[in-house]
């Protein structure tokens, strides 16, 4: 007996959940591949599914069972209303980082500023800021040449003029900056077992993990920023939800004249540190 779209996808979703995986991922993938929004889905879900579409679902289901993230299967992720190419050389942009970009824009007007994004990955932060504030001079750095290639591709595709440099944090930067922003690696090696298997297996380790209980890159940013941050400048950082006090202390010590605050995300977790 022929099955409908919703029957096949519901079955695939249940199969994933029974294996301890995210059931919604298969519907997310399929709708993205078909280019269907929720309205289109509601209109089509009770229709009989063609064999070609069933084959797409079966192939994606097999990949999800291997813990491949849906964004890598699609090759893109949406961030701040823009579509960014993602590969296994880049961290998948996440909603929490959108909140960091939104906070940066909220705290800064349209006047020209020099801005640097550390550990740019896909370029999501740098590109989103440049598109929202065209007068800003944005530089994006990463230690990974492969990630920089992806970021440059995204900037070109989205029409954002950004300077890209290969750099270990701020080592290759000489010009003073008005804004230093980063979503750096901040997961401690001790937290390896707590990570989702898809993250552990497929996302780049250098973009995730840091030494010294996840604080090593913050310490490096704090040290190197002292020579590069304008006296009126600010630093905005994404942090792990348990790192607020530690990161605040690092930057308050480095910048005793500035106010260092911990900001929460929409889930009410500590998520950002602002130095201004």
Q: Are 54 and 8 in contact (CB under 8 A)?
A: yes
Q: Is 183 annotated as a binding residue?
A: yes
Q: Is 123 annotated as a binding residue?
A: yes
What tokens were used for 133?
Answer: 């504030």
Residue keyed to tokens 């993205």? 32
Whole-number Å distance between alpha carbons of 172 and 162: 16
Q: Is 120 annotated as a binding residue?
A: yes
Q: Is 11 annotated as a binding residue?
A: no
Q: Is 184 annotated as a binding residue?
A: yes
Q: Is 122 annotated as a binding residue?
A: yes
Whole-number Å distance between alpha carbons of 127 and 155: 6
Known binding-site positions for S-adenosyl-L-methionine: 119-123, 142, 183
Known binding-site positions for substrate: 183-186
Known binding-site positions: 119-123, 142, 183-186
């Amino acid at each position: 007996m022929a099955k409908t779209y919703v029957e096949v996808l519901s079955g695939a979703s249940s199969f994933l959940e029974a294996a301890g995986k995210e059931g919604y991922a298969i519907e997310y993938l399929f709708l993205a591949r078909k280019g269907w929004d929720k309205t289109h889905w509601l209109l089509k879900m009770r229709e009989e599914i063609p064999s070609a579409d069933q084959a797409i679902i079966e192939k994606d289901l097999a990949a999800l069972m291997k813990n491949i993230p849906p964004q890598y299967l699609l090759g893109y992720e949406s961030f701040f209303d823009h579509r960014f190419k993602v590969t296994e050389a880049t961290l998948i942009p996440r909603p929490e980082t959108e909140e960091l970009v939104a906070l940066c824009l909220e705290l800064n007007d349209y006047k020209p500023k020099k801005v640097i994004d550390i550990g740019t990955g896909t370029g999501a932060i740098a590109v989103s800021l440049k598109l929202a504030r065209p007068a800003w001079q944005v530089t994006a750095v990463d230690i990974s040449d492969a990630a920089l290639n992806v970021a440059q591709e995204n900037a070109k595709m989205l029409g954002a003029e950004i300077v890209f440099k290969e750099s270990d944090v701020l080592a290759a930067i000489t010009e003073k900056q008005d804004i230093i922003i980063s979503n750096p690696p901040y997961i401690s090696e001790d937290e390896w077992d707590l990570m989702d298997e898809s993250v552990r297996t497929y996302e780049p380790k250098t973009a995730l993990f840091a030494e010294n209980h996840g604080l090593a890159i913050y310490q490096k940013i704090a040290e190197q920023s002292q020579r590069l941050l304008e006296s009126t400048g600010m630093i905005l950082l994404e942090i792990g939800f348990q790192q607020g006090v530690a990161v605040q202390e690092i930057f308050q010590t480095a910048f005793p004249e500035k106010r260092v605050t911990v900001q929460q995300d929409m889930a009410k977790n500590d998520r950002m540190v602002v130095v201004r």
